[in-house]
Amino acid sequence: MKKIFSRRSFLANTTTTAAGVALLSSLPKSGLAVFRPEPRIRFSVININHSHIYGMINAITRGGGELVSVYAKEPDLLAGFTRQFPKAKVAQSENEILEDPSIQLIMSSGIPDERAPLGIKVMKHGKDYLVDKPGIITLEQLAEVRKVQKDTKRIYSIMYSERFENKATVKAGELVKSGAIGTVIQTAILAPHRMSPKTRPDWFFDKKRFGGIICDIGSHQFDQFLYFTGSTQAEVIASQVGNLHNQQYPKFEDFGDVMLRGNNGSGYIRVDWFTPDGLNTWGDGRLTILGTDGFIEVRKNTDIASDHKGGNHLYIVDQKGTRYIDCNQEPLPFGAALVDDILNRTETAMTQDHCFLATELALKAQKNAQWIKNIPKPA
């Protein structure tokens, strides 16, 4: 007898895997209007000092997570959060969330120097952790996080959103893995950002709190270098930082760059806070992946040399010609993959070794960076 499957049963079964959630994200919205999958995990938030937390929540929610509760010390930040997520219970302390046995994942976008200490508490309470970048800001913090993670076997995941949450970068990964440009030789990544000082809190300008420009912004780029070259070992060849145009903030850095060599390719990274107000987005982020049989360029947030709107633009040049791919309809699989990993104790979203190695490289590049000498180094 032929089995007959209803659309509802198909969708219900499909949502139990990362691939299924990715498939659902590509279906017409009209077809999903009344479909509400049961949440696969429960998660909460502690500390919300950066707005990246909203994208992190959306990623895990797409993957099958249910936001349960939030704790934050700052009433103004909490008020904005609860307007966005009115169903989230407001906890009265960190411990209220840490000791809730129904919570499987805790995420945070707290002040950067507070992120690793919180993650250590989370893991010791038997929960997994997803943290905004930079997830760790000193080598000493990294050593302690690694020790606790090894002891507890919990997941300590850093949200490298310039790869996980950029659709063109996800598409580039698919093309590279398919062999579309041969063997990757090098990545070159430009990551300019807009400073907007009037909107920034005091800690944003204090290196001891944010870790330095390479540690902070650059953590994304070390992740991409390792991912696209397939490197599992790497060293920093050279790095430099400076405060070239913002001396009114003496503890700040507004420029940095790095040269890398991995066991499967080399890399160059430039990070800065010099996006002009005339650009239509916070930064013209670009990723170039050089292969033996071609190259890919990703224009993450804008494409100033064309009439293309918005972001998620990809160009590929191979032995046959040049193609442009609009990636705005590509799925974002990270959230669903991380939920799978939480449930199955696997490493499909990102291995723990990769997560820590990307951070280690950023921290070493930051610590050993030469100061650009045309500007006096702060005391």
Q: Domain with 49 in it: what CATH number? A: 3.40.50.720
Task: Give the confidence band of 1 by pLDDT, cuts at 50, 70, 90.
Answer: very low
Cβ distance 85 to 67 under 8 Å? Answer: yes
**276 Rama sector, left if φ>0, alpha if ψ -120 to 50, beta otherwise:** beta
The reply to whether 217 and 303 lie within a common domain is yes
The reply to whether 175 and 196 lie within a common domain is yes
Rounded mean pLDDT of the chain?
91
Residue 84 lies in a domain: yes
Residue 77 lies in a domain: yes
Please state the rounded mean pLDDT for residues 121-149.
98
Cβ distance 155 to 352 under 8 Å? Answer: yes
pLDDT digits (tens, 9 = 90+) for 228-264: 999 999 999 999 999 999 999 999 999 999 999 999 9
d(CA 16, CA 12): 7
Residue 141 lies in a domain: yes
Please state the rounded mean pLDDT for residues 289-316.
96
Phi, psi (degrees; rounded to nearest 5) at 123 = -65, -40
d(CA 82, CA 147): 35
Of residues 23 and 199, which shows the higher confidence score? 199
Residue 151 pLDDT more than 60? yes
The set of residues, in sequence order, having a beta carbon less than 8 Å from that of 106 and lying 6+ positions away, is 43, 44, 45, 46, 97, 98, 122, 127, 128, 129, 130
Please state the rounded mean pLDDT for residues 290-304.
97
CB atoms within 10 A of CB 174: 11
The reply to whether 227 and 254 lie within a common domain is yes
| pLDDT at residue 301, as a whole number | 96
Please state the rounded mean pLDDT for residues 340-354.
98
Residue 235's nearest CA partner among 371, 369, 141, 360 is 360
Cβ distance 231 to 222 under 8 Å? Answer: no
The reply to whether 181 and 154 lie within a common domain is no
**Torsion, CA 318, CA 319, CA 324, CA 326, rounded to 10:** -60
| pLDDT at residue 248, as a whole number | 93
Residue 123 lies in a domain: yes
| pLDDT at residue 2, as a whole number | 35
Residue 76 pLDDT more than 80? yes
The reply to whether 116 and 200 lie within a common domain is no
Residue 285 lies in a domain: yes
The reply to whether 99 and 143 lie within a common domain is yes
The reply to whether 99 and 219 lie within a common domain is no
Burial class (CB in 10 A: 0-12, 13-18, 19+), 276: exposed
Q: How far is CA 181 from CA 230, 290, 297, 317, in A?
A: 14, 8, 11, 8
| pLDDT at residue 38, as a whole number | 83
Residue 152's identity, in one-letter code, is T
Cβ distance 268 to 186 under 8 Å? Answer: yes
Q: Residue 298: CA atoms inside 13 Å, Cβ hemisphere, count?
A: 29
| pLDDT at residue 201, as a whole number | 94
Of 46-50, 61-65, 173-177, 196-200, the range with the lowest mean pLDDT is 196-200
Task: Give the confidence band of 373 by pLDDT, cuts at 50, 70, 90.
Answer: confident
* Of 159, 176, 197, the domain-final residue: 159
The reply to whether 149 and 170 lie within a common domain is no
Cβ distance 349 to 21 under 8 Å? Answer: no
| pLDDT at residue 36, as a whole number | 55
| pLDDT at residue 37, as a whole number | 63
Cβ distance 146 to 306 under 8 Å? Answer: no
Residue 108's identity, in one-letter code, is S
Residue 125 lies in a domain: yes
Residue 43 pLDDT more than 80? yes
pLDDT digits (tens, 9 = 90+) for 85-107: 999 999 999 999 999 999 999 99
Enclosing domain of residue 45: 39-159
Instruction: Give this prediction's pTM.
Output: 0.89
**Domain tally, the chain:** 2
Residue 22 pLDDT more than 50? no
Of residues 377 and 57, which shows the higher confidence score? 57
The set of residues, in sequence order, having a beta carbon less than 8 Å from that of 141 and lying 6+ positions away, is 116, 117
| pLDDT at residue 264, as a whole number | 98
The reply to whether 64 and 174 lie within a common domain is no
Residue 26 lies in a domain: no
Please state the rounded mean pLDDT for residues 286-310.
96
